[in-house]
A and B are shown apart, each in its own frame.
Chain A
Amino acid sequence: MVHNPALAEHHGHHIVPKRTLIKVFVALVFLTILTVSVVMVDLGPLNVPIALGIAAVKASLVVLIFMGLKYDSPMNALVLSIGVLFVVLFLTFTLFDTAFRGDLGNVAPETIADMQRQEQALQEREARLSGGAAADTSAAADTSAAAADTSAADTTAAAGADTTSAAP
């Protein structure tokens, strides 16, 4: 076996310098600290993309320098890229399904058409009540109907009270 230190280079193996490896490590530690710090700030819908973005930068540093993909045959990079592409497809199409299934827990005895009709009737009633002069007669009709209801209720209550007191 030949013990020539330069043999690796001679055989076309790229040697990543020690300083580069250490610099990449320091960058990775810094990005880790950044990941944790960013959690303190709430950026709403950007939270996940930013966390994943920083993770992707860290992964790229490991892949390109530590794993040597930057200096390797492009075939290895192609293999990795296709693998990552399939992961993206997997995630995307699965979420197309699961993220848009709607409320499967919403079960009621009325049909959807019935519920929609009730909803519409309620909305119309609200529109009439909050409506102005144009809806005068209907509003009065509503109030008089409400008054009739109240008086009828009073009579019933009085009759009930009478019955109760009459009974021994």
Chain B
Amino acid sequence: MAPNIQGAALEAHHTAHHPPHLKHHFTSSEQQFGAAKLGMWLFLVTEILLFSGMFVAYAVYRVWHPEVFAVASEVLDPVMGGINTIVLLASSLTVALSIYSAQTDDQKATVRYLVATVALAAVFLIVKYFEYTAKFEHGVFPGASFDPHGDYARYNIPYAAQFFSIYFVMTGIHGVHVVVGMVLISIMAFRAHRGHFSSAYYTPVEVTGLYWHLVDIIWIFLFPLLYLIH
């Protein structure tokens, strides 16, 4: 019953039942992990509704002017769009593998897969950069600055401007989400490198992964709707 033995026992009890990451308003790690995931899913629903505003605008204008959309869509290169689709799918794989690595206590692999995810996201943005500049060079801008000339002069038809505005806004806001994702995943890679995560606690990696998968899913729908109109 010496105080230091009691203190040591309490210490051991504390670490076993209250690991450092566990906040006191949760009864267990499982509950905390579940709550974090639910919170992220709720946020992802708000993101889905954000993009749905733009998808509905697309649908309204496409129903109004289907032939214009079909013609204007020819400007978008399906090869570049297809490459970007594969790139984002691969990035979803790498982020899922980083979580697998965290779950199996492979710290180095966790870092490597997170870095690979950021690299693939960068490739996506580089391809988009080439797509955007090719349009800007020929006067295809969003909104009132729409003035196609040169090789693109035949796209100077009524309501083509609407198609391209919708294209720029949808891919632009998606691109912003990619950049945000790159920042978050980079932070996760840094923290993983510092040993913050293990099979006992990898929640931030998990929820960041969930966000990144949604960015991929948005593009899965954007690609056929923008690039592959007959």
Contacts and interface: CB of A to CB of B under 8 A. Distances in A.
A148 interface: no
A42 interface: yes
Contacts of A24: 93
Contacts of B224: 35, 39, 51-52, 54-55
Interface string A36-58: 10010010000100011011001
> How many A residues are at the interface, by size bracket?
35 or more
Interface in A58-94: 58-59, 62-63, 66-67, 72-73, 75-76, 79-80, 82-84, 86-87, 90-91, 94
Interface residues of B, number: 53
A29 interface: yes
Interface string A1-38: 11111111101110110100110110011001001100
B139 interface: no
Contact of B199 (A5, A16, A29, A72): A5
A95 interface: yes
A21 B30 CA distance: 23
Nearest to B95: A66
A98 interface: yes
Interface of A: 1-9, 11-13, 15-16, 18, 21-22, 24-25, 28-29, 32, 35-36, 39, 42, 47, 51-52, 54-55, 58-59, 62-63, 66-67, 72-73, 75-76, 79-80, 82-84, 86-87, 90-91, 94-95, 98-99
A113 B78 CA distance: 49
Contacts of A54: 224
29 contacts: A1-B20, A6-B199, A7-B199, A8-B102, A8-B202, A11-B30, A15-B103, A25-B89, A29-B86, A29-B89, A36-B78, A51-B225, A58-B220, A59-B220, A62-B92, A62-B216, A66-B92, A66-B93, A66-B96, A66-B209, A66-B213, A80-B41, A80-B44, A82-B45, A83-B44, A84-B48, A87-B49, A90-B49, A98-B64
B63 A15 contact: no
A91 B96 contact: no
Name the residue among A36, A86, A95 with the largest chain B CB count within 10 angstroms.
Answer: A36
A8 B216 contact: no
Interface of B: 19-20, 29-30, 33-34, 37-38, 41-42, 44-45, 48-49, 52, 55-56, 59-60, 63-64, 78, 82, 85-86, 89-90, 92-93, 96-97, 100, 102-105, 198-202, 209-210, 213, 216-217, 220-221, 223-225, 228, 230
Contacts of A80: 41, 44-45
B182 to A, nearest CB: 18
A28 B82 CA distance: 12
Interface of A (DSSP majority class): helix
A16 B92 CA distance: 14
Contacts of A82: 45
A13 B92 contact: no
Contacts of B97: 18, 21
A66 B217 CA distance: 11
A72 B35 CA distance: 12
A36 B52 contact: no
Contacts of A91: 52, 55-56, 59
